Amino acid sequence: MSNQLVMRGPVGPLPLIPNQKKFNPINGYVGTIDSFVETARPVLPVYFLNPDQVAANARRFLTLFPGTPPYAVKCNPDPVVLKTMAKAGVQAFDAASIEEIRAVRKYAPKARILFMNPVKSREAIREAYYTHGVRAYSLDCVDELYKLLQETGLAPDLEVFVRIAIPKANATTLDLTGKFGIPAEDAPELLRQCRPVSAKLGLCFHVGSQCMKPERYAQAIRLAAQVIKASGVKVDALDVGGGFPVEYPNMTPPALDTYLENITHRNRLGDLALICEPGRAMVGNSGAVVARVEQRKGNMLYLNDGTYGNLFDAGPCGNLIYPTRLIRPGGEIAANQQTYGFAGPTCDSIDMMKGPFTLPVDVREGDWIVIEQLGPYCLSMGTRFNGFGQTQMVVMASEKEKAKAAR
Ligand SMILES: Cc1ncc(COP(=O)(O)O)c(C=O)c1O
């Protein structure tokens, strides 16, 4: 008896794992995440996108921000997101690459585009300027200015944003210091070099993503003001970047108003045009992933999605903790909860997410887990590493579409 294998789990025929070519998005789904899982019993991860939520977030920024808030495409470049933003009134987009610029032109043809990657290829600059009408560019060194001038034929209508570095001591939850930004002491000279060849001149920075401390903006703006003063040249615009946070189980950020107060009321901006580039806060609560549990080993759940898939920011780079809940169609679920870590499907050991993620004590193979707050940096970060990474996309019906379907 002791040598006998005890088989647990489902018996009977199993569905085939879908092939990428047959994987079309499902648009205007009128049900809920739970009803989808109940009927589809998905073998692969499913991404649920809620366009109503995207539109609501966009309108909130458009209403509250006292300037222009171009949406940072990198955060979630899905066509539905871009189209929804444009429809909600977003008239400007911050792009990091020519691919993102092409996507904006396709889904929001009339939008203003800011090319805010401080290092760009010559080909990308040319196509951005001549094909897509992009006039605003960021840079953080004089060689990039020369590149911009050469590739645009000394264009007379450039809007140049000098990106200043944020001191390491002011880093936030997801640190963006170290890669881009000219040190404040060198920035005045670069501003002076840019001024004669810029139709409009701006300063920009990024305090880091998921910034939990509103005063970081006030500090960065004070630094920007010192740089402008030291430069002795006229600066037309200030771009305070992204970084506006969303709520996670272990992080409840101050209200957006407090951030805006730190940006405006606590600084004398004079007649500087104000810009911000929100990514995370524009899409935070508009996406969720459903992953399946393939194995449980103690407090570690092995899922069919992970760091190389839709859960990049839960992995070692971000260590974000997401809200989670269990779906077990037709089955009882224990009331008591405990915390777990997740492991993704690939064979790499960085494909692990320490959480802790809170779920019922009886999670088992074959259960589905809904992971929320995955609007940002999810779809855009996934890879096909180890042959995984396929995701079924489900675009939820808007309230309007639901009402129509109910008639
Ligand atoms: C230049 C730039 N702008 C905007 C953003 C968006 O930042 P967030 O998603 O934190 O709002 C980023 C993110 O990396 C960025 O690099």
What percent of the chain is predicted at pLDDT more than 70?
Answer: 93
- 1 has a pLDDT exceeding 50: no
Boundaries of every domain in the chain: 23-49+285-400, 52-283
* 275 C-alpha to ligand 1 centroid (Å): 13
Q: What is the pLDDT of residues 209-224, one digit of tens each?
A: 999 999 999 999 999 9
pTM for this prediction: 0.93
* 204 C-alpha to ligand 1 centroid (Å): 11
HSE toward the beta carbon, residue 299, CA cutoff 13 A: 11
CA distances from 397 to 50, 79, 80, 310 (A): 8, 15, 12, 22
Check whether the bond before 356 is cis (ω within 30° of 0): yes
**Residue with CA closest to ligand 1 atom 4:** 242
The predicted structure's pLDDT at residue 25: 87
Angstrom distance (rounded) from CA 239 to CA 203: 6
Ligand 1 nearest atom to the CA of residue 280, by list position: 9
Please give the backbone phi and psi of residue 51, each rounded to the nearest 5 degrees, phi first. Answer: -65, -30
Query: Does ligand 1 lie within 6 Å of residue 253's CB atom?
Result: no
Angstrom distance (rounded) from CA 43 to CA 108: 34
What's the CATH class of domain 23-49+285-400? mainly beta
* 142 C-alpha to ligand 1 centroid (Å): 23
User: Would you identify the CATH topology of the domain 52-283?
Assistant: TIM Barrel (3.20.20)
Other residues' Cβ atoms within 10 Å of the Cβ of residue 312: 21
Q: What is the pLDDT of residues 124-154, one digit of tens each?
A: 999 999 999 999 999 999 999 999 999 999 9
* 209 C-alpha to ligand 1 centroid (Å): 7
Note whether 23-49+285-400 and 52-283 share their fold. no
* 96 C-alpha to ligand 1 centroid (Å): 9
Query: Does ligand 1 lie within 6 Å of residue 244's CB atom?
Result: yes
CA distances from 345 to 26, 61, 175, 277 (A): 24, 37, 27, 34
Angstrom distance (rounded) from CA 162 to CA 201: 8
